[in-house]
């Protein structure tokens, strides 16, 4: 059973159909790309998967170790608890909070003490806080952010902010990670580093990854499969080589003449 | 039956007042997404201006109302320039708190200047003291006057918004200020103009209230202001027809509750309507739900 | 690192005991007389109100203009109970009264919070304002609250011990809360609600949590108020009172607990100085609100706290200058 099954997913905003009959299947452990021209509906798909938008029709099913959950009308926080995490196209860090706090907040669902204990700083509070602090710093260290633990997120350089968003998403202990244009605004050296990071992510954290990206050097290098969207529909699906030579894809990106050239 | 008719007429008159005030709230909210807490105090200053024009300067009702409207226009534009413009890019809470501050400043400043006592508008003479007889019923001319002026102002407003360049600019800026700026619209002037329009209407409402209810005091704006805002929310904040409908609706509800249930709870009912509409349909009757882009 | 933790906890506990003891002594020797004590009571009640409103508005980002409404519920609940039971239960009546006040305010907090906290900034502000007004109108029209005339002759059970206990207690509990994961979750809502939601934070739950904690604290403050000033009327807890509290929070800094405490003290001093110019007070207050928002919206402390680290930083900068 695929870890993620999206069937005929459709989303209309009044008269505008942003996403139309989209089918996506992800097997456990895959690293799949989602590409397409601007406005194709890729981020809308992410928003539908994570519960920020409700689908107009269609189904989203997450299969986690045999247990299936329909994600259709779930609120975002519940979707996160079920095992989906994401990063945002325009970074949405908690800018005025420290790097450490950004990560610790994402760990909230895995922390075990009640409000009462929090109010009185009982032993369970102290114990759990120590554990979270340790886990957060370890996670940050893996991504070379350990030294900036007490820095405000807004003070980090751009590339590190993007990394922090990924760390924060990982802190929710997901099984499926949605990355929305993680390479946006990066120079070639940074993109190359990001490519390695994403590959490492998949293996070290046992994740399935769906990646929206415009930077083809990243996509073609690490994605095993690619979905291509245009005007809200999936127009092609296949391996990087298949997609590279797909006429419809070329047409969507470069226009009819290029496709026929 | 006569009592019912009288209540309906009261409701329409009160509704007109609320509608005039609500229009100011809705236009300002539509264009810069701000609840202008100070709006109801501009209404109060309109009432006082009318009062001073009629008593100290011995002017007639219409000239006094016009002067009140002009003064309020200037005041509204001034407040926008001094207090709200510097905060165009600030957080919502910051601007809201500023608006509250301006409102309190106007209220207590007025109290300081003219005293907290209630003042009485001069009694109307001539035609405005008369009643019109329709069949068995006698309806005061004042009611017709209020509704008439209100309708006239609303028609003028609709004309300005729909048929003039400034009106078009207002609509453009409320949809997308940046795009409007790129199209060559002077956004700052448009915003000032919006404030001026709303304030003029509030000033007129103030004078009408003085005429109808005869008593004015520095804190008279608070309650009508909140209710007018509720009316604007009910009709759909940002929507001009919505504010008009909302105003009449709230006015009618208040008079009916007061007349047939208990006048003690009339305010509570209006507040309850607010809570209800925010829960059931926050966009109001004619409003649109604007989503945050993720 | 652990040693620093324990050290700061010890220092904090000692300072709390010291503050209590010093004031108690000043009271016993009448250096703090009745007049000053009244000011002290006002300051402490305002601290509780400001810190709890700051939790809701400054830290969780939910703009509540109805805080005084919860104060009203607490004041009336406690007063109604103690007025009837004080003769039989003595101070016990007061303590039960405070607990009842907290519970009542908390329940109303849940009832008000659940439907309204879905609303965004400006709408929430108006909705909470409306709720507080409804509470006030109900209080004006009920027999048990004695309508517009209010209640008088409320048993005066508040002394420095109880006052300090509840004030320090509120500050400590809220500060603790903000350091816990629940507090952090609340703060994340202020920072970016959609991101918080996406990271697994049940934003509704935490908004209501902060709101209810704020309501409970305001209820306790109300109970303390009625049990000291022994006369309460519905109009005392209207929109103006909510604004009063908001001014303190804004002046101190939305997001700074120590800021709220400092501002409460500062504004009490200013208020006392302005007592002879009562009409000017509100004019100055409102002007201050506008000026602060335009020129220093972060208030006195911004979102920083007075802390031991701050003192050591200041100390270090002095050392450096000498070299």
C135 within domain boundaries: yes
Q: How far apart are CA C116 and CA B282, in angstroms?
A: 11
Same domain, A227 and A126: no
pLDDT at residue number C311: 64
Name the domain boundary from A167, A191, A207. A167
A118 and A64 in one domain?
no
Q: Which residues of C touch B91 (CB under 8 A)?
A: 297
Task: Determine the distance from the C-alpha atom of residue B223 to the mean position of all C-alpha atoms in its chain, rounded to a whole number.
Answer: 12
Cα-Cα-Cα-Cα dihedral sign, residues A99, A103, A104, A108: positive
Question: DSSP label at B126?
Answer: G
Q: Which of A167, A200, A221 is the endpoint of a domain? A: A167
Q: Are residues A178 and A239 in the same domain?
A: yes
- Note the pLDDT of residue B96: 86
pLDDT in tens, B271-284: 889 888 888 888 88
A230/A129 same-domain check: no
Q: What is the DSSP string of B30-77?
A: HHH----TTHHHHHHHHHHHHHHHHHTS---HHHHHHHHHHHHHHHHH
Task: Find, in chain C, the residue whose alpha carbon is nearest to that of B225.
Answer: C126
- Quote the crossing angle between the two packed helices A158-170 and A123-142, to the nearest 10°: 130
Averaged pLDDT for residues C208-217: 96
Give percent above pLDDT 90 in chain C: 52
Q: Percentage of chain A with pLDDT > 90?
A: 69
Give the per-residue pLDDT at C207.
95
The C-alpha of B91 sits at a distance from chain A's nearest C-alpha, in angstroms, of: 14
A102-128 pLDDT tens trace:
999 999 999 989 999 999 989 999 999
Q: Where are the domains of chain B?
A: 22-225
Going B231 to B234 to B238 to B243, the CA torsion angle's sign is negative
Q: C51: distance to nearest CA of chain A, Å?
A: 15
Range of the domain at C106: 35-245
| B294 at interface of A, judged by CB pairs closer than 8 A | yes
Looking from the CA of A231 toward its CB, the CA atoms found within 13 Å total 6
Q: Is residue A90 part of a domain?
A: no
Write down the pLDDT at residue C182. Answer: 95
ipTM of the complex: 0.91
Q: Give B-chain residues touching C140 at CB under 8 angstroms.
A: 264
3-state DSSP call for residue B101?
helix
> Is A126 inside any structural domain?
yes
How many folded domains does chain A comprise? Answer: 2
Give the count of beta carbons closer than 10 Å to the beta carbon of residue B56: 8
Domain count across chain C:
1
Distance from CA of B112 to the nearest CA of C (A): 6
Q: Is the pLDDT of residue C298 over 80?
A: yes
- pLDDT tens digits, A66-83: 888 998 889 999 999 999
**C contact residues 171-210, partner B, Cβ 8 Å cutoff:** 194
User: Is A69 domain-assigned?
Assistant: yes
DSSP state of C224: H
Q: Which of B283, B292, B293, B294 to mutate to test the interface with A (most CBs of A within 10 A)?
A: B294
Per-residue b or e along C189-209, where b marks 16 or more CB atoms closer than 10 Å to that residue's CB: bbbbbbbbbbbbbbbbebbbb
Q: Which of A43, A46, A93, A94 to mutate to test the interface with C (most CBs of C within 10 A)?
A: A94
Q: Mind telling me how many Å the CA of C303 is from chain A's nearest CA? A: 9
Predicted confidence (pLDDT) per residue in B224-270, tens digit: 998 999 999 999 988 888 999 999 999 999 999 988 888 878 888 99
Both tokens assigned to B122:
């001069």
Asked if residue A107 and residue A56 are part of one domain, the reply reads no
Rounded distance, CA B229 to CA B6, Å?
25
Would residue A89 count as lying in a domain?
A: no
Helices (H) and strands (E) in chain A, counts: 11, 10
Residues A181 and A62 in one domain: yes
Show which of A167, A202, A231 is a domain's final residue.
A167
Which chain C residue has the Cα nearest residue A167? Answer: C199
Domain annotation covers residue C259: no
Residues A179 and A78 in one domain: yes
Choose the closest CB to C127 out of B97, B109, B275: B275
Residue A180 belongs to domain with CATH number: 3.40.50.300
pLDDT of residue C42: 93
Residue of C nearest to A89 (CA): C195
**pLDDT number for residue C217:** 97
* B102 touching C (Cβ < 8 Å): yes
If asked whether residues A202 and A161 sit together in one domain, one would say no
Could you report the per-residue pLDDT of C154-202, keeping only the tens digit for each?
A: 889 888 999 999 999 999 999 999 999 999 999 999 999 999 999 999 9
| One domain for residues A224 and A255 | yes
Q: Residue A127 is part of which domain span? A: 95-167
pLDDT tens, residue by residue, B75-116: 999 999 999 999 988 887 788 889 999 999 999 999 989 888
pLDDT digits (tens, 9 = 90+) for B192-233: 999 999 999 999 999 999 988 888 999 999 889 989 999 999
Same-domain pairing of A139 and A256: no
User: What integer pLDDT is reported at residue C310 of this predicted model?
Assistant: 64
A62 domain residue, yes or no: yes
pTM score: 0.89
The Cα of C171 is separated from the nearest Cα of chain B by a number of Å equal to 24
Among B225, B233, B221, CA closest to B274 = B233
Nearest Cα residue in chain C from A169: C199
């Amino acid at each position: 059973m695929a870890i993620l099954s999206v069937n005929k997913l459709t989303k209309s905003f009044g008269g505008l159909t942003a996403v139309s009959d989209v089918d996506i299947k992800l097997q456990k452990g895959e690293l799949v790309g989602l590409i397409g021209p601007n406005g194709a509906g890729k981020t809308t798909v992410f928003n539908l998967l994570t519960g920020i938008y409700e689908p107009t029709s269609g189904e989203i099913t997450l299969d986690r170790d045999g247990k299936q959950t329909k994600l259709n009308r779930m609120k975002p926080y519940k979707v996160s608890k079920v095992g989906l995490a994401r990063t945002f196209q325009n970074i949405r860090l908690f800018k005025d909070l420290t790097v450490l706090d950004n990560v610790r907040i994402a760990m909230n669902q895995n922390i075990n003490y009640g409000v009462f204990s929090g109010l009185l700083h009982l032993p369970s509070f102290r114990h759990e806080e120590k554990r979270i602090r340790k886990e957060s710093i370890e996670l940050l260290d893996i991504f070379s952010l350990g030294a900036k633990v007490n820095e405000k997120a807004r003070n980090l350089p751009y590339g590190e902010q993007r990394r922090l968003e990924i760390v924060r998403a990982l802190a929710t202990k997901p099984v499926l990670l949605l990355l929305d244009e993680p390479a946006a605004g990066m120079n070639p050296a940074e993109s190359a580093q990001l490519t390695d990071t994403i590959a490492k992510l998949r293996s070290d954290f046992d994740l399935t990854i769906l990646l929206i990206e415009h930077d083809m050097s990243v996509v073609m290098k690490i994605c095993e499969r690619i979905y291509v969207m245009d005007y809200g529909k999936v127009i092609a699906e296949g391996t990087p080589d298949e997609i590279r030579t797909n006429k419809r894809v070329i047409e969507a990106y470069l226009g009819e003449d290029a496709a026929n050239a | 039956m006569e009592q019912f008719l009288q209540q309906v007429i009261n409701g329409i008159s009160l509704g007109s007042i609320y509608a005039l005030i609500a229009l100011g709230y809705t236009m300002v909210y539509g264009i810069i997404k701000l609840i202008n807490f100070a709006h109801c105090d501009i209404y109060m200053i309109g009432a006082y201006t009318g009062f001073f024009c009629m008593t100290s300067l011995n002017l007639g009702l219409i000239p006094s109302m016009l002067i009140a409207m002009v003064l309020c226009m200037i005041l509204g534009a001034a407040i926008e320039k001094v207090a709200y413009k510097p905060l165009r890019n600030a957080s919502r809470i910051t601007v809201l708190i500023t608006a509250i501050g301006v409102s309190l400043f106007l209220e207590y400043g007025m109290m300081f200047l003219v005293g907290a006592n209630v003042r009485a508008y001069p009694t109307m003479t001539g035609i405005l003291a008369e009643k019109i007889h329709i069949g068995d019923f006698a309806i005061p001319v004042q009611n017709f006057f209020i509704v008439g002026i209100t309708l006239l102002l609303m028609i003028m407003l609709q004309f300005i918004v729909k048929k003039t360049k400034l009106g078009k600019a207002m609509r453009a800026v409320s949809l997308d200020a940046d795009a409007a700026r790129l199209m060559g619209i002077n956004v700052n002037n448009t915003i000032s103009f919006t404030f001026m329009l709303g304030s003029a209407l509030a000033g007129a409402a103030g004078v009408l209230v003085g005429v109808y209810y005869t008593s004015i005091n520095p804190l008279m704006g608070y309650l009508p202001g909140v209710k007018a805002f509720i009316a604007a929310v009910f009709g759909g904040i940002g929507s001009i027809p919505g504010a008009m409908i909302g105003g009449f609706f709230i006015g009618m509800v208040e008079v009916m509750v007061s007349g047939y249930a208990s006048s003690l709870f009339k305010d509570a009912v209006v507040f309850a309507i607010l809570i209800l509409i925010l829960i059931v349909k926050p966009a109001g009757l004619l409003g649109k739900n604007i989503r945050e882009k993720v | 690192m652990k040693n620093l933790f324990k050290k700061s906890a010890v220092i904090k506990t000692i300072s709390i005991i010291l503050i209590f003891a010093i004031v108690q002594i000043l009271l016993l020797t009448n250096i703090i007389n009745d007049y000053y004590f009244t000011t002290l009571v006002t300051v402490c009640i305002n601290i509780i109100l400001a810190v709890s409103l700051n939790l809701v508005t400054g830290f969780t980002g939910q703009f509540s203009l109805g805080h005084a409404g919860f104060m009203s519920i607490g004041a009336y609940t406690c007063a109604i109970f103690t007025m009837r039971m004080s003769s039989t239960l003595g101070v016990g009546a007061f303590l039960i009264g405070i607990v009842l006040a907290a519970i009542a305010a908390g329940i109303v907090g849940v009832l008000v919070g659940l439907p309204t906290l879905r609303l965004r900034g400006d709408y929430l502000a108006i909705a909470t304002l409306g709720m507080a007004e409804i509470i006030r109108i109900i209080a004006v029209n009920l027999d048990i609250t004695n309508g517009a005339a209010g209640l008088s002759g409320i048993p005066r059970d508040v002394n420095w011990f109880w006052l300090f206990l509840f004030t320090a207690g509120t500050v400590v509990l809220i500060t603790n809360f903000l350091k816990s994961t629940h507090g952090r979750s609340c703060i994340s809502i202020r920072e970016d609600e959609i991101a918080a939601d996406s990271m697994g934070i049940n934003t509704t739950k935490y908004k209501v949590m902060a709101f209810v904690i704020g309501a409970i604290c305001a209820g306790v403050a109300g109970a303390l108020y009625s049990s000291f000033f022994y006369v309460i009327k519905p109009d005392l807890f209207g929109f103006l009172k909510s604004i009063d509290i908001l001014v303190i929070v804004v002046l101190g800094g939305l997001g700074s607990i120590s800021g709220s405490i400092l501002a409460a003290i500062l504004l009490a001093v200013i208020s006392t100085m302005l007592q002879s110019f009562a009409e000017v007070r509100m004019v100055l207050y409102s002007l201050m609100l506008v000026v602060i928002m335009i020129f220093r919206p972060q208030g006195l402390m911004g979102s920083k706290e007075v802390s031991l680290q701050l003192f050591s930083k200041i100390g270090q900068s002095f050392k450096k200058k000498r070299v």
